[in-house]
Amino acid sequence: ALNSDRQLWSVAGTLAATYRILFGMRLEEDRLAFRPMVPPAYAGERTLRGVRYRGATLDVTVRGHGTGVRRATLDAQLLT
């Protein structure tokens, strides 16, 4: 049935929008890059927990709104 809760494609689309747009996650050849695009209406704090990337398990948090990264930390250490 249309709009069924069993439509895997709609779940995949929602996850893709979250990962690729709100969090701006890009799997590049040599790194995991972030270029978030959070509209003002979606401002706030969002966290993805348990993201697996090259043997690491990451928790990723985006705060605020906008199209850039002001500050990034890894294990409480500021990244440049």
What are the tokens at 13? 């689309």
With a cut of 90, say whether residue 40 has pLDDT above it.
yes
Q: How much is the average pLDDT of 41-67?
A: 92
Band of pLDDT at residue 80, cut at 50, 70 and 90: confident
Predicted TM-score (pTM) of the model is: 0.74
Going by the DSSP 8-state scheme, the letter that residue 1 receives in this structure is -
What is the per-residue DSSP string for 11-68? Answer: HHHHHHHIIIIIS-EEE-SS-EEE---B-GGG-SEEEEEEEEETTEEEEEEEES-BSS
With a cut of 80, say whether residue 55 has pLDDT above it.
yes
